[in-house]
Amino acid sequence: MRTQVVIIGAGPSGLLLGHKLRQEGIACIVLERQTGPYVLSRIRAGVLEQVTVGLMEQLGLDARMKAEGLPHDGFNLADGERLIRIDIKGLTGKEVMVYGQTELTRDLMEACGSRDLEVVYEAADVALHDIESDAPYVTYTKDGVEQRIDARFIVGCDGFHGPSRKAIPESVGRGFERVYPFGWLGILADVPPCNHELIYANHERGFALASMRSQTRSRYYIDVPLTEKIEDWSDDRVWDELAIRLGPDAAAHITRGPSLEKSIAPLRSYVFEPMRHGSLLLCGDAAHIVPPTGAKGLNLAASDVHYAAEAMLGFFKANDNDAIAGYSAKALARVWKSERFSWTLTKLMHRFPEDGPFERRMQLAELDYIASSEAAQRSIAENYVGLPV
């Protein structure tokens, strides 16, 4: 089998890129190790920047997002006693969209048939070959039979543990990593949110986040040590801790309910350079991980897709080799800025084990400065709504 581009991974970045290439008449095939229902079962982010919303609009797949999504023109930081509202619409003229990653992925999956995007699910043992040449190929096993796809480019959208990044020789690539000493314990419940906007809370007991997926489904988080076990956290214990950390105003409006999903996710910051080697390009979690503070993960993947699609269009439509050559530097410039914002917000809102009374006072002083400074709020708003691509 032969195509122009093989995309490995049918998460949102792989499907976004596949749809974008097909829209431009570029042949591609998407390979996915898991089943479609498994991909849809992943509970992930829910705040979309302009770049992600814009891609869905360009693809003409934004109808359900616009009908069911929740446009937000602000969010809140809390210091245990008050809410500090960041008016992103007033400060930047833009807004974000609260729309679950699962729903966005569903929209992309359901459009594959009508948009002539071929996705091969349950593709096992995916391996990349000859990526340093102009004729790379991918092998995989489907129903016990080994298959081969020849292409001009391979794009790895297969996450942190996928084979794409591992195909780049150690002598060429380098990873930069910061592993955090805590995880986020998340609870998803069919209850109305406690606030119409997100709340990121810094409390002396630790971090908390009040978020939502819709007007009737809420997503909450608290940070816990990595030694904690999910079975030790009953629903009641989670709700009790959230009420303390989010502060009295938010606690008064929390509606409790049974958890639909509850888990502990470790946090890390990670960037791999370069994001392109030979005929292989990396997108999304295959190249970088951000802590969820600030909701940059999916949106960074979308900006990668934007740059990768630009590069492919330049190559296939204008015979521009420089477009491919420039992909990594262009994508990494935005990646590192987003990593900086996520790291800064994580440091501001979480208690680290090595922190003492001085560091706590510094956090409170920074939050107090943000509360009184439009310039500080503008900087946060610009980064939260998404830097330009």
296 is catalytic: yes
How far CA 352 is from CA of 202, 205, 225, 286, 366, in Å, comes to 12, 11, 10, 27, 16
Report the length, in residues, of the chain: 389
How far CA 130 is from CA of 135, 147, 157, 159, 326, in Å, comes to 7, 16, 18, 21, 21
Let me know: does 141 contact 157? Beta carbons within 8 Å. Answer: no
The crossing angle, in degrees rounded to 10, of helices 50-59 and 12-23 is 40
- E strands of 38-168, at which residues? 47-48, 70-72, 75-78, 83-86, 96-98, 118-120, 124-129, 137-142, 145-150, 153-156
| 347: CB partners within 8 A, 6+ apart | none
Q: How far is it, in rounded angstroms, from Cα 338 to Cα 291? A: 10
Of the residues 137, 180, 200, 221, which is catalytic?
200
89 is catalytic: no
Of the residues 72, 262, 288, 330, which is catalytic?
72
Three-class SS state of 150: strand
Q: How far is it, in rounded angstroms, from Cα 335 to Cα 356? A: 31
Amino acid letter, 374? E
- Can you list the pairs that 314-320 forms with residues at least 24 positions away whose Cβ atoms lie under 8 Å? 315/153, 316/4, 316/26, 317/24
Of the residues 20, 262, 296, 330, which is catalytic?
296
72 is catalytic: yes
Of the residues 180, 307, 327, 384, which is catalytic?
384
Of the residues 20, 136, 292, 307, which is catalytic?
292
* Vertex 69: Cα angle to 68 and 71 (nearest 5): 135
350 is catalytic: no
Residues noted as catalytic: 72, 200, 292, 296, 384
